[in-house]
């Protein structure tokens, strides 16, 4: 499987990272180097092996379904690049 320029462009779009048109060929090249390295995994017989989901078998702890935190809009917004009237502000989303 090799990554062409079109695929590199699509991946950049999916990742929401702007990549200049001129930089796509080099990026595709780097992806391919990494993918060739990763493809060693195809040598391994994984038949019947379950994907690992946790490092030690432990049940996730459960807790009461109650509110444990909140009422701090100022703290939540304190680092926002643009906050107005108690909300995060972003460019217009709907035309």
What are the residues binding another protein (CB under 8 A)? 1, 3, 7-8, 11-12, 14-19, 27, 30-31, 33-34, 37-44, 46, 49-56, 58, 60-61, 63, 72, 75-76, 78-82, 88, 90-93
Please say whether the beta carbons of 86 and 73 come within 8 A.
Answer: yes
CB of 64 to another protein, least distance (A): 12
Strand partners of residue 88? 83
Other Cβ atoms closer than 10 A to 8: 21
Find the shortest distance in angstroms from Cβ 5 to another protein.
13
CB of 86 to another protein, least distance (A): 14
Q: Where are the beta strands (DSSP E) in 1-95?
A: 83-84, 87-88
């Amino acid at each position: 499987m090799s990554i062409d320029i079109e695929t590199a462009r699509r991946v950049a779009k999916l990742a929401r990272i702007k990549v200049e048109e001129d930089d796509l060929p080099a990026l595709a090249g780097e992806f391919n180097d990494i993918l060739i390295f990763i493809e060693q995994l195809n040598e391994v017989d994984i038949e019947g092996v379950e994907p690992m989901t946790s490092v030690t078998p432990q049940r996730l702890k459960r807790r009461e379904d109650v509110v444990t935190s909140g009422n701090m809009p100022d703290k939540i917004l304190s680092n926002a690049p643009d906050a107005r009237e108690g909300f995060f502000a972003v460019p217009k989303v709907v035309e």
